[in-house]
Structure 1
């Protein structure tokens, strides 16, 4: 029996194709953050904190919003205060930021709470002039009866916050191309044939469960050793590139695998720590949604077809 790639959600065969890009967002965004009123790293990080705190308080009026700011949850347009805002009761103990200074995007994987139940939230803030012009979110909920529970989100993801050696720094485009070899490996069903360059210590966490690297608890903890299925219809989009930290955040739709109810697919925001031409650490928050669900925000950078 073959072992699926994203085990915590019961992975199976899917379809995959590179996306060049998805529908444009309603909110405008600067192509490059070089304007005099652009946010620096501390400013973008602070906006993430403001968002998480306002969400925990259930009060979107606390947010520094630009005029006509756009909100989406699971690619559906909503008004501030709708969706997760109505049910969240507080913050959990995990947050991993991805700061794209050049494109003025502040993204994060964050654990929130609905009572005692964890909620894994992917959030991407699109910033203009130091204010939030767009909020893009993806939500994965857990109950005590969920088959898989987030277990390793009490501390930072191994390797994700390590400083990038000066000799290992890559250009923005090179980082993206390295991360997309992972998507190509899923497309063809083989990381070896895709030349996906994993470091010896590559560590992967999916929805708070270690699925590759030290502590994964499987016989095939090495990414090259794991059996994966082909994904000929997967879509990929660039959500953020943290050039300082060497992290690429991709949005991906894995296509209809036939594993869930008809027409459903895995949707993810997946972060890749990239330096020295290799992938060193991976963190993904995944959920199941209709396969036809597009991202509804544009990719920050072009994604070529194979």
Structure 2
């Protein structure tokens, strides 16, 4: 009864507030701060209905577009005491950096709202940085430094465009980090926080980030940039400056930091150069939301928060139209027309060798060729084309597939990028003698060490982790031809339905079918795993829900093997077997090999990559456009 009354009062209050904001024609600071406070309270109440939103409000969580009320709305428990809000009445924008608890675990929560002239919220952009240590540091601070809240006299302020251009110098200077660059845009007393930790002018002797360097954090902002130490940030894109707080001379910015994995060593800071941390040996993208306080025309305070997203992932609110990453093609001799089984298997060898020698121009590529990694379109020559050093072949752990009817070829096997092991799957499309599509999925080993290892930042733990140290081999059944290996779409769909329903009912499993996730199998059959029998760990918990974007990449009926990929949602809405840190919304991207014998599934081999909740593949989006 109390909850019902509270919701009714909240709804009435929202109508009254909305009415007053409409009359005022502009939401000033107190109005914006009140709205974001209402938003945070609604989040904790798990009830967005009290918020004044437009009918087409766009809700984004960790760069995924979701229905408002899903994802984080189901699991947040309470708000922390740290709160840092930025208001821009002219643009109708407001943002805050705050702390929350999820399942008793602290996290950093950042949200931006866009408010229309009628007082309704039209955009909600949020980021959850699941760094419990950082959240605790914020809680220990209690509140931001007082200087952030000081109003600057009008005659001492610089205008909006200058605030943006000065802030943008920070990103331009960090990208590639030329040690000889001009970094005079930093105030001599500049300080920076990263997830609540001060990382400038601190002489603690603690290593910085993933590195072993103990001197970097003792330097000033300007001195740090003058070392060139941050050159492992190879690109900073989609730079967005949505909240300009002119009164307080503050900027709230959102960007994506790319690390393409080509930088091999860090410059000398404490006397000697050092190898790049293993974390940066493979392509990574980090989405950053951060604030800047200027003093005069110089950056005086910086407060950064970040979370990892798949490499080259587009932002949900991009500043510019998406870049066309289709390739220009080549003039090389084409493959035979039609391209039969032997031809397609040769294509696989050619593509793998070209990636290995980092040269895509040696391939017969069609004009407009599309290339992707883990569901994101990437420019040819980027990503794996710069980092892959070795693959396994069929005599160790590998499979080559072909489907001459559809002109597709596939590969599955071990990969090595610098020192990082992985499992690589490829789909290649050949049409009219040229390669038109290349789709790669690579799941890297997630190992830990004293400096963080290679673990994806901010992701929850898996029931079965693969650290890349397996000596497992591919079951010989994958390399043998089947007497009857016809792969019917309904057979594979029945398996995905069973995975979604956690039930083997109606799934055509062979007796004794084996299934491995991240090389963990135990002694359960495929049916027992789906039915949740026994105590052996499975790669997925029984709390996953939708299995979507189901795609059969290559169906090799002669071998009776299909290469497929699917996205499996873990909304973490309720209790389950996962640890508190694991019970957070996420999506699993699962490339897999499926063996079929006489119409029955006899073996499944899959690896799992964690991606943000609600993640979608760019190929799925392309298919959706074509079908409209």
Aligned to 1:237: 240
Match of 1:127 among 99, 115, 135: 115
Aligned to 2:403: none
How far the C-alpha of 1:75 sits from its partner, in A, is 1.4
- In 2: Cα distance, 1:294 partner to 1:35 partner: 37
Q: Contact 2:234–2:260 (CA<8 Å) still a contact in 1? A: no
Q: How does 1:203-222 map to 2 (within 5 A)?
A: 203-213=191-201, 215=202, 217-218=204-205, 219=215, 220-222=218-220
Match of 2:137 among 151, 156, 163: 151
How far the C-alpha of 1:116 sits from its partner, in A, is 2.9
Classify 1:65/1:191 alpha carbon distance in 2 versus 1 (closer, same or farther; 3 Å): farther
Is 2:316 the partner of 1:296? Answer: yes
Q: After superposing the two structures, state which structure 1 stretch, 194-203 or 111-120, moved more.
A: 194-203
- In 1: Cα distance, 2:297 partner to 2:230 partner: 25
Is 2:292 the partner of 1:284? Answer: no
- In 2: Cα distance, 1:244 partner to 1:121 partner: 24
Higher RCO (CA < 8 A, seq sep 6+): 1
Question: Per the alignment, in what secondary structure is the counterpart of residue 44 of structure 2?
Answer: helix
Aligned to 1:16: none
Aligned to 1:250: 253
Q: Contact 2:176–2:235 (CA<8 Å) still a contact in 1? A: no
Question: Per the alignment, in what secondary structure is the counterpart of residue 182 of structure 1?
Answer: helix
Is 2:33 the partner of 1:38? Answer: no
Q: After superposing the two structures, state which structure 1 stretch, 228-237 or 169-178, moved more.
A: 228-237
Q: Contact 2:65–2:316 (CA<8 Å) still a contact in 1? A: no
- Structure (1 or 2) with the greater helix fraction: 2
Question: Per the alignment, in what secondary structure is the counterpart of residue 89 of structure 1?
Answer: strand
Residues 223-272 of structure 1: CA distance to partner in whole angstroms, max 9, x if unpaired?
A: 12224222332112212111111111111111035335844322111111
Aligned to 2:91: 103
- In 1: Cα distance, 2:160 partner to 2:240 partner: 15
Runs of 4 or more above 6 Å deviation: none
Question: Per the alignment, in what secondary structure is the counterpart of residue 221 of structure 2?
Answer: coil
Classify 1:91/1:287 alpha carbon distance in 2 versus 1 (closer, same or farther; 3 Å): same
- In 1: Cα distance, 2:95 partner to 2:193 partner: 18
How far the C-alpha of 1:281 sits from its partner, in A, is 0.5
Q: Contact 1:164–1:275 (CA<8 Å) still a contact in 2? A: no
| TM-score for both structures, normalised by structure 2 | 0.39
- In 2: Cα distance, 1:150 partner to 1:221 partner: 24
Aligned to 2:362: none
Q: Contact 1:179–1:248 (CA<8 Å) still a contact in 2? A: yes
Q: Contact 1:178–1:278 (CA<8 Å) still a contact in 2? A: yes
Aligned to 2:223: 225
How far the C-alpha of 1:292 sits from its partner, in A, is 1.9
Match of 2:66 among 61, 78, 93: 78
How far the C-alpha of 1:80 sits from its partner, in A, is 1.6
The size of the alignment, in residue pairs, is 263
- In 1: Cα distance, 2:289 partner to 2:196 partner: 13
Classify 1:261/1:85 alpha carbon distance in 2 versus 1 (closer, same or farther; 3 Å): farther
How far the C-alpha of 1:96 sits from its partner, in A, is 0.7
Q: Contact 2:84–2:143 (CA<8 Å) still a contact in 1? A: no
How far the C-alpha of 1:221 sits from its partner, in A, is 3.1
- In 2: Cα distance, 1:191 partner to 1:48 partner: 40
Question: Per the alignment, in what secondary structure is the counterpart of residue 297 of structure 1?
Answer: coil
Aligned to 2:100: 112
Aligned to 1:265: 285
Question: Per the alignment, in what secondary structure is the counterpart of residue 151 of structure 1?
Answer: helix
- In 1: Cα distance, 2:196 partner to 2:242 partner: 20
Classify 1:149/1:66 alpha carbon distance in 2 versus 1 (closer, same or farther; 3 Å): closer
Residues 120-149 of structure 1: CA distance to partner in whole angstroms, max 9, x if unpaired?
A: 112110111111111111111134xx6x66
Q: After superposing the two structures, state which structure 1 stretch, 102-111 or 61-70, moved more.
A: 61-70
Aligned to 2:130: 141
How far the C-alpha of 1:64 sits from its partner, in A, is 1.6
Classify 1:211/1:150 alpha carbon distance in 2 versus 1 (closer, same or farther; 3 Å): farther
How far the C-alpha of 1:160 sits from its partner, in A, is 2.1
Match of 2:166 among 150, 163, 178: 178
Task: Name structure 2 gaps, 5 residues minimum.
Answer: 1-21, 206-214, 262-278, 321-628
